[in-house]
Every structure is written in C-alpha cells, then in structure tokens.
C-alpha cells in the first residue's frame, strides 16, 4: 500500500530537478501523476516537452501511471487545460503541487520590466491560475454532494520569506506565494481543501550558480532535490488533512516550519512626528532583527548564498 494510493496529483515544473523528484515519489507511493513542464530554460525561454515525457516514461517503467502536459501555468487558458488534463485522463483531481519557476536575477537598479514581469507571471500568477481552476473544480464537487479531500501545495523560497539580494522579483513572488497560501487555506477549508507551502533548498539548474559548488559527495547529497519530495508526498496524502496554512522549509539538512509575521514591541500612537525618533529607537532596540537566509536572527542583510 502506498501513502497516495488512488490519489491523482498534478506537479508543475516536473520535468527536472525538484519537480521531477516530487512526481517520481508521488508515483512510487501510488499516485497517478500529471507531469507538467514546458521544458524551458531557467530564464523561461525555449520549450521542449521531452523532459516531461521522460519522467512519464520513468513512472510507467516501474508500473506507475502518469501523463505529460506542456501547458504554461502563467496562461489562464493553459492553467485550465492543465487541471482538465487530470480530470479527463484519470477522472478526478486530489492534489496540485505548484512547483514551476524561472529565474531572472538582477539587482533592483538594473532590473528590467521584462525581467520583473516574467518571474512574477510564472511564480505568482502561475500559482494563482492553477489553484483557481483546481479550487473551482473542488467547489463544484462539494456542491454536487461529493466529499472532497484535496490539497494545494505551493512552492515559496527562503529568498522570499527571509530575503536575498539580487532577487527582488523572485523574492517578491515567493513572499506573495507564502501569503497566498495562508489566505487560500482560510478560504478553501469549507470545500475540504488544504493549502500549504514549502520553501526548498536544493542544488538544481536554477540554484547551481547562486553559491559555491559542493566540494564533497556528502555535501552534494545533502543538497539533492530528493530531500524535498517526502514532505510534498505526505502533504499530498490523506494523512495531512488537518494541516493547512503552513509554510515548511525542507532540505537535506532539516525539515522545519517557518513562522510568519508576528506583531513585535508596541507603544501608544504618537501624533507628533518630531517625537518619533526616540520612540522608534526604543521599539527597534526591543525588536528581533530580521532573519538572514538561514532563517535565524543575526546580521542583516547577509551575503547572497544558495
């Protein structure tokens, strides 16, 4: 018996890297998988369905069931076709893993409108578009009297929730996805849908240029994308039905829950701006510093790292 026997799950960006590991483990645990990937380069250019088809072939090779889909998640109509692929092929939908992404890193002062829009479209709009069509399907199922036990699992990043220089576009999209996750969890619980997110850290095509290469086999293994798949697979299963609105961090070093914004030190309101200097200084002295990329209190900002 697999953890996800009978579950039908879409994984976006599943042709390579982290998404590929998600798709393979879900299939090993009994899920029928829609392997979505446009086959683009890391900056979003180009397209090739063969990576998705290769993952499907791997799944079928060990007796699993999968189908390839090449629609772009940033397309409204493409996102709808993707959701329909699962329903038309396998007869239902139980999980959506929003993993697709691109990078167009640039410091703010040099960033172009195209570099901003491209990253926001794939990450943030892509998460919204697929989730919206999936949620509409599950709402109709609920209205028809069917019991829904469904999952949306989004992909945020430590670059978004903690911050990373050179990634205002990517970080803003990923921080938006974390907020989207929390709010969508509130809205969709009435339909039997949970919504969670993961912030993965792994060595893939998208991250290999963001920091020093691993020097040992042990370091390479700790940064393998395979460490992200277990929490995704568990969240996609029926076992996770009581967990929603949370952001997990996952890597070969840890599994953690990222705690969101909380109100810190406070004082009574001040109506004279000339009196605010010492008041703000006192608040800052009592407040925790912003976390660095390691998620811990410390010197901020920290140097860029993978």
Bridge partners of 66, per DSSP, are 33
Query: Strands, E, within the chain: which ranges?
Result: 8-12, 32-36, 66-69, 95-98, 150-155, 193-200, 247-250, 255-258
Query: Strands, E, within 23-163: which ranges?
Result: 32-36, 66-69, 95-98, 150-155
DSSP per residue over 217-242, as a string? HHHHHHT-GGGTHHHHHHHHSGGGTT
**Do the bridges between strand 247-250 and strand 255-258 make them parallel or antiparallel, or are there none, so unpaired?**
antiparallel
Give the Å distances, CA to CA, from 54 to 20, 49, 51, 58: 10, 9, 5, 6
- Of the residues 137, 162, 170, 191, only one is catalytic, namely 170
Give the Å distances, CA to CA, from 181 to 48, 167, 176, 248: 30, 21, 8, 11
Active site residue 162: no
Catalytic residues: 170
């Amino acid at each position: 018996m697999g953890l996800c026997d009978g579950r039908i799950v879409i994984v976006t960006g599943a042709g390579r890297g982290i998404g590929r590991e998600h798709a393979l483990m879900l299939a090993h645990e009994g899920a029928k998988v829609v392997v979505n990937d446009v086959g683009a380069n890391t900056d979003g250019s180009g397209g090739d369905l063969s990576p998705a088809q290769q993952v499907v072939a791997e799944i079928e090779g060990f007796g699993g069931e999968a189908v390839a889909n090449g629609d772009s998640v940033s397309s409204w109509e493409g996102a709808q076709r993707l959701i329909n692929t699962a329903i038309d092929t396998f007869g239902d939908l139980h999980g959506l893993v929003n993993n697709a992404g691109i990078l167009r890193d640039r410091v703010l002062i040099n960033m172009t409108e195209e570099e901003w829009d491209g990253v926001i479209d794939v990450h943030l709009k892509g998460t919204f578009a697929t989730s919206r069509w999936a949620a509409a399907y599950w709402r109709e199922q609920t209205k028809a009297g069917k019991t829904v036990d469904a999952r949306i699992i989004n992909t945020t990043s430590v670059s978004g929730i903690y911050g990373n220089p050179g990634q205002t576009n990517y970080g803003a999209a990923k921080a938006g996805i974390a907020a989207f996750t929390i709010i969508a969890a509130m809205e969709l619980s009435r339909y039997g849908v949970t919504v969670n997110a993961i912030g993965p850290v792994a060595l893939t095509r998208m991250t290999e240029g963001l920091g020093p290469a691993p020097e040992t086999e042990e370091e390479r293994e700790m940064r393998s994308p395979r460490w992200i798949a277990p929490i995704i697979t568990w969240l996609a299963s029926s076992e996770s039905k009581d967990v929603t609105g949370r952001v997990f961090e996952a890597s070969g070093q840890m599994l953690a829950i990222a705690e969101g914004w909380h109100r810190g030190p406070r004082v009574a309101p001040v109506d004279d701006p000339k009196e605010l200097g010492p008041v703000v200084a006192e608040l800052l002295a009592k407040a925790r510093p912003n976390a660095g990329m390691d998620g811990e209190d410390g010197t901020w900002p920290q140097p860029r790292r993978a």
